[in-house]
Amino acid sequence: MVNVKVCKICGDEKAFEDFRKSNTKSGIGTTCLECYNLEHSEYKKQFKEKTKVYHKKYYEENKESLAIQQKRHREEYIKIHGRTFASSRKEYNKFYYETHKKKKEDK
């Protein structure tokens, strides 16, 4: 049995891998990834300003609780990884610079 499904928007028969995952019984969405991405990008363009205003308002109203969440997340990250993200980023940048510097010198 071949795992194919028909997209509800374009009507094309596609493999299960070409569909979004969902919380339905089958675990597969009704629209293919192509159609979903097209619809989603149009939606984002249409409501860009509205969502921007909403998120800004939400941030202003919940500034304190968001700061607490961020602090808790940073502390958990340090517990798990034993370092801060910024320090690991500095190490990575130094490593990247050194390796690419050698490549430039080789040319």
Per-residue model confidence as pLDDT tens digits over 56-93: 999 999 999 999 999 999 889 888 877 777 777 788 88
1 pLDDT higher than 60: no
Per-residue model confidence as pLDDT tens digits over 17-53: 999 888 888 888 899 999 999 999 999 899 999 999 9
Query: For 75, left (φ over 0), alpha (ψ -120 to 50), or beta?
Result: alpha
Give all strands (DSSP E) within 1-107, no chain letters.
Answer: 4-6, 13-15, 19-21, 28-32
| CA distances to 8, 16, 25, 71, 105 from 21, in Å | 15, 9, 11, 32, 47
Predicted structure pTM score: 0.48
